[in-house]
């Protein structure tokens, strides 16, 4: 079964988030997720989610300064990173979110980055354990996010396995991982027990998933066959308006 989540960081991004939740419901999505909702009143968000019955799958920790893509693997920025993690969990708990994506930051090959990330992830996992939530880490491709701490699912799996925390999972983004090596079905099969969420978009454009290198009408069912029972997050940048570009949904969700 293909269950679709609308990523409101990109979809209906011209609307306040509560309105975007209602738009996702009207368009037939089964869940929603977001990036950085912190300028939106949490009470209004919770009401929109309750009114639509859509689960909020997750949100991101703050991305820091321009180009940093997060704080949690930046040595010397531990206090800011912990504050961002605490902020994300406080907001997530208030709206009933299921997961927090802890953004690592642009610290590839930086001395001490791995140890810093490990410590911050344990802090996040402690919060997740107390509130029945999940911590996600997402490898980002080296073209869009140069020097990001991890770029491949293999690197992210090493972090998860090193941590040894059941709360910690991988965000498997088909867009990023196609750019960073492809062979998505087999790589997903290898790591599916460590995956906590799946996202997708067209490659290389990151537009609607009805163009480019990947045939999602075949790939997403293949991931289900490989063991995925969760939602698929549509995290793409619409070519025009969101509503005008939703023709792809019928071909994938049928």
Known catalytic residues are 138, 235
Contact present, 115 and 160 (Cβ < 8 Å): no
Distance (Å, whole) CA 198 – CA 15: 25
Using left for φ > 0, alpha for ψ between -120 and 50, and beta otherwise, residue 67 falls in left
Are residues 73 and 117 in contact, defined by beta-carbon separation less than 8 angstroms? yes
DSSP state, 89?
H
CB 254 within 8 A of CB 3: no
Alpha helices in 104-152 (DSSP H): 113-130
**Token pair 């001490």 in the structure block, residue:** 112
């Amino acid at each position: 079964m293909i269950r679709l989540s609308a990523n409101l960081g990109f979809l209906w991004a011209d609307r306040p988030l509560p309105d975007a939740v209602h738009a996702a419901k009207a368009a037939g999505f089964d869940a929603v997720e977001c990036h950085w909702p912190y300028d939106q009143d949490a009470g209004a968000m919770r009401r929109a989610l309750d009114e639509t019955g859509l689960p909020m799958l997750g949100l991101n920790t703050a991305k820091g300064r321009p180009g940093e893509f997060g704080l949690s693997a930046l040595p010397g920025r531990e206090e800011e990173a912990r504050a961002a993690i605490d902020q994300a969990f406080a907001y997530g708990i208030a709206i009933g979110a299921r997961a927090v994506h802890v953004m690592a930051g642009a610290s590839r090959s930086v001395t001490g980055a791995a140890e810093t990330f490990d410590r911050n992830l344990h802090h996040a996992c402690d919060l997740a354990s107390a509130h029945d939530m999940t911590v996600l880490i997402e490898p980002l491709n080296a073209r869009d996010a140069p020097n990001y701490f991890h770029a491949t699912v293999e690197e992210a799996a090493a972090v998860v396995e090193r941590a040894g925390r059941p709360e910690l999972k991988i965000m498997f983004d088909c867009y990023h991982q196609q750019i960073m090596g492809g062979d998505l079905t087999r790589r997903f099969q290898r790591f599916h027990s460590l995956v906590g969420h799946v996202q997708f978009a067209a490659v290389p454009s990151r537009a609607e998933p009805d163009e480019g290198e990947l045939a999602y009408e075949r790939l997403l069912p293949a991931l289900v066959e490989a063991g995925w029972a969760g939602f698929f997050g549509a995290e793409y940048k619409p070519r025009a308006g969101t509503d005008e570009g939703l023709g792809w949904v019928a071909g994938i969700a049928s």
